[in-house]
Amino acid sequence: GQRGPRRILIGSVTERVIESARCPVLVVRQG
């Protein structure tokens, strides 16, 4: 039951990271 809220939290954090640094995020995903 914690997967839902956790997923939303991670999603919001990911969005902030992408907004602040898109290139590094893409590099990390590829690596």
Instruction: Compute the average pLDDT of residues 11-27.
Output: 75
Token pair recorded at residue 28:
């990390």
Q: How confident is the model at residue 2 (pLDDT cuts 50, 70, 90)?
A: low
Q: Is 25 exposed, middle or buried (0-12, 13-18, 19+ CB in 10 A)?
A: middle
pLDDT greater than 80 at residue 11: yes
Q: Which residue has the higher pLDDT, 19 or 22?
A: 19
- The answer to whether the CB of 18 falls within 8 A of the CB of 25 is yes
Q: How confident is the model at residue 17 (pLDDT cuts 50, 70, 90)?
A: confident
Alpha-carbon dihedral angle through residues 20, 23, 28, 31, given to the nearest 10 degrees: 180
